[in-house]
Amino acid sequence: MAGTTQSTAAAAAATATPTGTRKRIFSGIQPSGHLTLGNYLGAMRRWVEEDQHRADALFCVVDMHALTVEHDPARVRRLTRQTATLLLAAGLDPRRCAVFVQSHVAEHARLSYLMECTASDGEMRRMIQYKEKVAREEARGRSVRLSLLTYPALMAADILAYGTDEVPVGDDQAQHMELTRDLAVRFNQRYGPVFTVPRAVHPQVAARVMDLRDPTSKMGKSNDDTGGIVYLLDEADVIRKKVMRAVTDSGGTGEVGYDREAQPGVANLLDVLAACTGGRPQVLAEEYTSYGALKKDTAEAVVEMLRPLRERHAELCADPAYVDEVLRAGAERARGLARPRVDAAYAAVGLMPPV
Ligand code: TYM
């Protein structure tokens, strides 16, 4: 298998050139933990089902972002490979899009510095995710890394290096995306038109999947309590257990209704079920009279949706050379796209070109 899939990947990379008129899409995912149902429904699924077919798309495992908090180097390395493998297992096709690792393309770090020179200290400190992560690091008795503050500059660089038109992300990235747009506009005003101003695209349903045990907070890969997080590689029975134990009724009405304020746990389950089955949460709410039935159907829908992904992941794990080749070819293509724009940005700010 390794031999044939490897040459397919190389051929794929050679043909994955843009037509020139298609939209450019870029998005990224951090290898800071095991991927979750939130990552899948909020971002990955759309990349697979829509974005790679309609645009010139690049998807990146943003490993440098995983260094902004205390980390175990071996784990980050392992999760980087696992994340890339899961992206392919979910259905990203290297004949249609580039899949690569951020640190393999030096332009991200090069441009990040110029973004730091464009952003203000104040706007970085206003980022909600920065404040939340500072609180979490401090609660764990850890010092806060400077890169946690400057993280959105690197994210802006990730996006702007590619002349990106659209960035498909979950709701939690909205503020970072606004900042990216501001930085692009400011840079262009100061130094000339180097960057495309990108826009965020969010899914209509499940743009923010909540933790099953604490439906007022986002299902996040690095949450401490993992009981409310469905991981993409969880066994079917583990998924069933987690969904059946989901918090549903803090108000005590006992009725199934779609009300994010009054019944956040039930609304979250309805969102997940709707996202898995293609229905609408408000309509689905009317079909259920008990939490138990809603949980059971949601659990089964999640298990069935993730089954092919887990099976494909197992196959790909047996062929690491194929994954390597996809990442090598993806990085090569990304480098070729990013370098001219980052060079132009360096020249625009007044840095002398190499002699
Ligand atoms: P990350 O790694 O936290 O998440 C990857 C993608 O998954 C979405 N997501 C969710 N969507 C719905 N519900 C959830 N519970 C949920 N959890 C995560 C995220 O919105 C995201 O789309 N800063 C980014 C990574 C990044 C990036 C980029 C993204 C770095 N550079 C450039 C786009 C473009 C992050 O931490 O995503």
Is 9 a member of any domain? yes
241 in a domain, yes or no? no
Sheet holding 199-201, edge to edge: 97-101, 56-61, 24-29, 166-168, 199-201
Tell me, what's the pLDDT at 55?
97
Residue-level pLDDT at 222: 78
- pLDDT, mean of residues 101-108: 98
Contacts of 100 (CB under 8 A, 6+ apart): 58, 59, 60, 61, 327, 330, 331, 333, 334
**pLDDT tens digit string along 111-154?**
999 999 999 999 999 999 999 999 988 999 999 999 999 999 99
Range of the domain at 336: 3-207+320-348
Cβ(266)–Cβ(293) under 8 Å?
no
Judge whether residue 235 has pLDDT over 60.
yes
Nearest to 191 by CA among 347, 353, 352: 347
CATH number at residue 48: 3.40.50.620
Tell which atom from ligand 1 comes closest to the C-alpha of 36.
17
247 falls within a domain? no
Does residue 324 form part of some domain? yes
Bridge partners for 58 per DSSP: 26, 98
Higher-confidence residue: 7 or 176?
Answer: 176
The owner of tokens 């070729």 is 336
Contacting residues for 246 by C-beta, under 8 A, at least 6 apart: 212, 213, 215, 228, 265, 268, 269, 295
Lowest mean pLDDT among 116-125, 158-167, 245-254: 245-254
Q: Is the pLDDT of residue 294 over 80?
A: yes
For residue 42, how far is its CA from the centre of ligand 1 (angstroms)?
Answer: 8
- Residue 62: closest CA among 144, 167, 142: 167
Ligand 1 pocket member 170 (CB < 6 A)? yes
| pLDDT score recorded for residue 221 | 86
Domain tally for the chain?
A: 1
Q: Identify residue 304 by its one-letter amino acid code.
A: E
**Does residue 290 lie in a domain region?**
no
Cα 188 to ligand 1 centroid, rounded to whole Å: 26
No. of H helices and E strands in the chain? 15, 5
